[in-house]
Structures are given as structure tokens and as C-alpha cells.
């Protein structure tokens, strides 16, 4: 295995892709900041974005009637763009904060000890300044929405603040991550209606279950090092029963999504996206090898496809409702 010192000298992080476009676009002195924000690993902000996009799409198509104009049933591109930018900024700020809190743990784990803080590529002061800058971008995005959505978004910071500490005190840090990463399921609805109703709450609960599932898969990469340093996780808790737990978690997520769609009176074809997503989730469970870190990472990343399937199902259902009278 290549020594950590060698990776640091090359400006690399052990668990980061070395050929990412970020490293070609940015001067080398900014590489550690890109690594703090995980700009070279977009899967994090993509998974944070999906509940926002689902909720915005569901809110736009809620209570649709056949013959409604197509554009009235689709989420506005400007809203999706704001949620995307906000996801990138806040995921980056969250990762930077997490690295500040976990510097001592990261220095003991092979996969993370070459990260910018434990390897000394940035100081804690520099990391805090960078965190604040990213948070300001996130705030600028949040202020584009209505006052209810602004207050709702700010309230999520409590969960974000406590999450990095949970792995020290509970076997369920993935639950707290789910509470934070699923907040967008409430935000999209709030941005449309200025309130949080049943469909948004059900979408939120379903997303939490989904997050626990995919992050359990992710956590299996580090379970041996985690056991040594005392980090707790659902991967260690579930152990050899992980697949059984995933069946329950993913099935519960799909059920919550289906009831959310029904409560929002979304067009029936939205269920096609859930069926496709369910098939994808079933394949994750069937092929999972919890002792193969590389495969665990691939399966974790594949949840971006789940996000697309559900989103396209909602959008496709809305288009079907609008065009039904013409068919």
C-alpha cells in the first residue's frame, strides 16, 4: 500500500479519485479545500439534493387534474438549480465541519489519515474560515425562498451540528445522518406551499430510511478500523444481518414514498419510478458483499440512480396527467 506521506506529497487523499476534473481546474494550493468540501466526490451532494428535488417535483404535481398545463405541474428549473447549489454548498460545509470534529479519529483510520486536516495540509483556522464561506453561500441560496422555508432550513443546523458526535455515543449515527440528509424532503414542499403537510412528512420519513440503508453499506468499508478506534455505526450493529435490515429499511422507504404520493394525489404513473427504484434497491441487497469495501462503495454510489428513477417517475407522472386528455 502506498504510504500516506507519498499521497500527501502528491496532494492526494487515499479515498479520493486522483484524476478528477477538480484537480485539473484548480491550482494545487486549493486542492486541500476541494478535498475538505469533497468537490471531487459529488455523490455526497447528489444524495443530499435528491430529497429536495423529489419534494419540489411532488409539490408541483400535487393535486394535479387531467388537462392542467404541463409547465404548471413541473418544478421550476430555478428552484431545482437553487437546491442543487445549496446542496453543494451545505454538503461541503458539513464535510468540513465533520473533518474538524473528527480530526483525531481520521488520523487513526487508514482511509482518512491523508485528508487535509490530519495530514497537516490545512490548519484548523483555515478550515473554519472555509466552512464559514461555504455556509454563507448556503444562506444566500436559502434566502431566495419564502420565510417559512428559510426558518425551516435554519432549524436543520441543529441536527447538522450534533451529527459528527453521534458515532461516539450511539450505534445509530446513520439515523442522525438521515435526519439531516433528508431535510430537503420538507424544504421542497415548504418552498412551494409555505408549510409542511403530510406528503412532505412521509417523504421525509421514507428518505431517512433510505439514507440509513445506503450509509450502512458505505460504513462497511471502515468497520474494522472503526472497531479499533471505537467508532460506532449501523454497519457494526447489523453485522452479518445487514441484508435483512436493508430489506426492511428499503421496503419501509418505498412504502412511505408510495403513501406520500397517494396523499398528494400525484398521478398514478409516478409509481413507475418507485417500482424501478425498488428493483434497483433489491439488486443492491442481493449482490452486497459486506466484506468487499470496493463493492460497498460502488453500491453506495449507485443510489444516485435511485434518486433519478424516483424523480423521473414524479416528473413523468405529471407530464402524463397533463397530456392524458390528448391521448
What does the alpha-carbon distance between residue 8 and residue 119 come to, in Å, rounded to a whole number? Answer: 7
Q: Is the pLDDT of residue 326 over 80?
A: no
Question: Quick one: pLDDT at residue 7?
Answer: 47
Q: At 320, is the pLDDT very low, low, confident or very high (cuts 50, 70, 90)?
A: confident
Residues 237-268: tens digit of each pLDDT: 999 999 999 999 999 999 999 999 999 998 88
Question: Quick one: pLDDT at residue 6?
Answer: 45
Q: At 30, is the pLDDT very low, low, confident or very high (cuts 50, 70, 90)?
A: very high
Element spanning 271, H or E: helix 271-287
> What is the Cα 164 distance to its own chain's centre?
15
Average pLDDT over residues 180-186: 97
Extended strands (E) in 58-206? none
Question: Quick one: pLDDT at residue 4?
Answer: 44
Q: At 160, is the pLDDT very low, low, confident or very high (cuts 50, 70, 90)?
A: very high
Q: At 9, is the pLDDT very low, low, confident or very high (cuts 50, 70, 90)?
A: very low
Average pLDDT over residues 148-169: 94
pLDDT cut 70: percent of the chain above it: 91
Domains of the chain: 43-326 (1.10.357.140)
Q: At 87, is the pLDDT very low, low, confident or very high (cuts 50, 70, 90)?
A: very high
Length of the chain measured in residues = 327
Q: Is the pLDDT of residue 11 over 60?
A: no
Least confident of 17-21, 76-80, 300-304: 17-21
Question: Quick one: pLDDT at residue 135?
Answer: 97
pLDDT cut 90: percent of the chain above it: 73
DSSP-derived 3-state class of residue 260: helix
Residue the block writes with cell 487508514: 110
The per-residue pLDDT of the chain, averaged, comes to 90
Give the DSSP letter of residue 1: -
CA distances to 13, 54, 108, 205, 295 from 250, in Å = 32, 17, 32, 12, 19
Element spanning 22, H or E: helix 21-25
Average pLDDT over residues 274-283: 98
Q: Is the pLDDT of residue 2 over 60?
A: no
Give the torsion through C-alpha atoms of 308, 206, 78, 180, to 10 deg. -110
Highest-pLDDT range among 23-27, 48-52, 312-316 = 48-52
Residues 299-315: tens digit of each pLDDT: 999 999 999 999 999 99
Give the DSSP letter of residue 109: S
pTM to 2 decimals? 0.91
HSE toward the beta carbon, residue 199, CA cutoff 13 A: 24
What does the alpha-carbon distance between residue 20 and residue 262 come to, in Å, rounded to a whole number? Answer: 41
Element spanning 261, H or E: helix 242-263
Residues 94-149: tens digit of each pLDDT: 999 999 998 888 777 777 788 889 989 999 999 999 999 999 999 999 999 999 99
Q: Closest Cα to residue 91, out of 15, 156, 143, 149?
A: 156
Amino acid at each position: 500500500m502506498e504510504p500516506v506521506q507519498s499521497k500527501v506529497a502528491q496532494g492526494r487523499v487515499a479515498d479520493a479519485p486522483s484524476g478528477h476534473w477538480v484537480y485539473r481546474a484548480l491550482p494545487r494550493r486549493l486542492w486541500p479545500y476541494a478535498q475538505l468540501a469533497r468537490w471531487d466526490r459529488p455523490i455526497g451532494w447528489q444524495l443530499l439534493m435528491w430529497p429536495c428535488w423529489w419534494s419540489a417535483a411532488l409539490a408541483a404535481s400535487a393535486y394535479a387534474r387531467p388537462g392542467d398545463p404541463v409547465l404548471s405541474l413541473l418544478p421550476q428549473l430555478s428552484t431545482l438549480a437553487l437546491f442543487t447549489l445549496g446542496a453543494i454548498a451545505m454538503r461541503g460545509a458539513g464535510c468540513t465541519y465533520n473533518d474538524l470534529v473528527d480530526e483525531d479519529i481520521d488520523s487513526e483510520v487508514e482511509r482518512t489519515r491523508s485528508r487535509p486536516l490530519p495530514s497537516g495540509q490545512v490548519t484548523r483556522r483555515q478550515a473554519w474560515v472555509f466552512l464559514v464561506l461555504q455556509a454563507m453561500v448556503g444562506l444566500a441560496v436559502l434566502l431566495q425562498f419564502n420565510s417559512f422555508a428559510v426558518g425551516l432550513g435554519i432549524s436543520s443546523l441543529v441536527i447538522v451540528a450534533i451529527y459528527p458526535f453521534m458515532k461516539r455515543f450511539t450505534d445509530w449515527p446513520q439515523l442522525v445522518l438521515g435526519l439531516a440528509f433528508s431535510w430537503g424532503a420538507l424544504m421542497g414542499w415548504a418552498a412551494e406551499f409555505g408549510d409542511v403537510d403530510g406528503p412532505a412528512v412521509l417523504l421525509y420519513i421514507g428518505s431517512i430510511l433510505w439514507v440509513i440503508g445506503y450509509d450502512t453499506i458505505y460504513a462497511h468499508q471502515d468497520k474494522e478500523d472503526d472497531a479499533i478506534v471505537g467508532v460506532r455505526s449501523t454497519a457494526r450493529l447489523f453485522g452479518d444481518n445487514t441484508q435483512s435490515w436493508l430489506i426492511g429499511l428499503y421496503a419501509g422507504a418505498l412504502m412511505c414514498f408510495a403513501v406520500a404520493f397517494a396523499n398528494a394525489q400525484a398521478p398514478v404513473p409516478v409509481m413507475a419510478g418507485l417500482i424501478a427504484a425498488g428493483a434497483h434497491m433489491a439488486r443492491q441487497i442481493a449482490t452486497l458483499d459486506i466484506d468487499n469495501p470496493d463493492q460497498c462503495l460502488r453500491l453506495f454510489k449507485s443510489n444516485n440512480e435511485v434518486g433519478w428513477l424516483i424523480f423521473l417517475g414524479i416528473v413523468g407522472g405529471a407530464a402524463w396527467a397533463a397530456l392524458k386528455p390528448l391521448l
